[in-house]
Structure 1
Amino acid sequence: MISVTTRDVIEKFNLTLVSGNEGIGRYITTSDLSRPGLEMAGYFTHYPANRVQLIGKTELSFFDMLPTNLKKERMLRLCSTETPAIIISRGLEVPEELIQASNENNVPVLLTTMKTTRFSSRLTNFLESRLAPYVAMHGVLVDVYGIGVLIIGKSGVGKSETALELIKKGHRLVADDCVEIRQEAEDLLIGSPPPLLEHLLEIRGIGIIDIMTLFGASAVRPQKRITLIVELENWDGEKVYDRLGLDEEKMKIIDTEITKLTIPVQPGRNVSVIIEVAAMNYRLKKLGVNAAQEFSRRLEEVISVQDELEDY
């Protein structure tokens, strides 16, 4: 289950815990932040209590203008049972009324020296990454010429062996056996290995090998955007395989559709070279160069000329 706690935010951004110590285990369930300016003015009708509350110079300067009785009341309502944390930016002085209310309701009050806008951006990016939709898939993720290639297929078809050949050629391993995939934005899938399997590759007959130890730090990377899926399957003589590449197959992961190629495997086929070419060809297509479409155009021209000659 995907979860982020206030403690995670404290450790990530090295925040100072001012009060509400007992609440640092509270869960943060949304990446949206709240700047409680209207709440400071007394409007709590649509108060997003489940969000991290970020208070900057503007909110505190208005708060200083309030009467003492209103200060206490506003801070008590701000520190609800759902609020995961209240963060004060710019290293500003935390109001005593907020400290008392946070200790009373166990809402952590944190302090950062960063400016409000900059911290808001960094915290939002962190939460969006950590709270992104997630799925784990069986396969191998390799960085080939800058293209994140997810190799899938039945167990024993040769995914890890193919990845090992690619690594020997200078490409980089991201994850083997289990790939954790997060959708961090629309049409953006990021794959990474589980911490237990980081840098490791399983080769039948040899066992577990450490790629970083054998090939160096340049042979691995911690994560990579997935842009191409290659499915390996044992050669089926009765199956018709795509020989032109005009029809583009897609595979949906979470809410994102990724281009998928199916490569039949049989003795004598150099699968690693095929995947290298597939990655380069995918990049060319994105640049507007499509060999299959160009071949189709030439073929249509030849047929058109033959038809004209026959009519003549």
Structure 2
Amino acid sequence: MNKSYAEQFYYLMKLGRVFEQRAKEEYMKGNIAGFLHLAIGEEAVHVGASLGFGKGDFFVHYREHVWALARGMEPKYVMAELFGKITGVSKGKGGSMHLYDPKYNFYGGNAIVGAQIPHAVGAAYARKLRGDKSGVMVAFGDGATNAGNFYESINLAALWKVPVLFLCENNRYAIGTHISRASALTDLYMKAKDYMPAVQVDGMDVFAVFEAVKQAKEYIQTEGKPYFVEALTYRYEPHSMSDTNVYRPQKEMEIMKSKDPIQLLKDRALKEGLLTEDFIRYVDDKVLQEVEEAVEFALKSPEPGLDELYKDVFCEVCTDVVS
């Protein structure tokens, strides 16, 4: 691992953490409405996988803020979307669960659990037909692996031999249900191993996630076939802002917080000379400023007009659509 990647890891993970902490504050103030699902604790998966995969299409779940930032979206436009403003990445129509920007091949969050998985297989099939080897990555939680469309998707991906990386973020809880109460297999990569190469990785270690996804990307590009990665991670916040979080043992929380992915990154990178204390202080200050500017931008941005209700509903440039 080189210094450049370590610096990118720290910046993006710290940006994601501070962005979400600030989003939580704004939600409590009433500036963000609807649902808000935070990925605090899971930053290593989102950042490591984003940088490890590189070019290609991204389909992710509704816990997506850090994914979007790691993909390259500007914090102010993401925050504006959370605020429901016209300057947001989805013009204020999507909110927290539906960030979208085709410039980054980011096809965003999906509010239906697992619905993005067949979408990703379809996109990978399209890339195969076009001779494009960049491939597709789809991220989903452990709960999604119990749905029928998950099994249908890995079956078709293997049958059609399409370049798609299935990335399961196993944070052990589907809303408030522990994995042991919902899945006969708790090592979730085992669900895919008979269809494609499947591995399990420490999702609290950004270096490990990066390497696993990088290897998976090389495989789907060279072989043109699917690959499965299970990242063992943990969310420190409740499932959503409306969740009381009473179902998790306090001891479990303490153990997992001792494995904070940002602290683990700092400890290793400082020890190996990949980061310096001066760089860390610089990034910490930079991130605080960027997030505060994002909040100010969102607060000052206008809300969508009523005419926006009728925009982007039908394709206005398509010739093969019956209106």
- Scaled to the shorter chain, the TM-score interval is under 0.3
TM-score normalised over the length of structure 1: 0.21
Structure 1 or 2: more strand by fraction: 1
Query: Computing the radius of gyration over CA atoms, which structure comes out larger, 1 or 2?
Result: 1
Q: Relative contact order (C-alpha < 8 Å, sep 6+): which is higher?
A: 2
How does the TM-score come out when normalised to structure 2? 0.21
Q: Which has the higher helix share?
A: 2
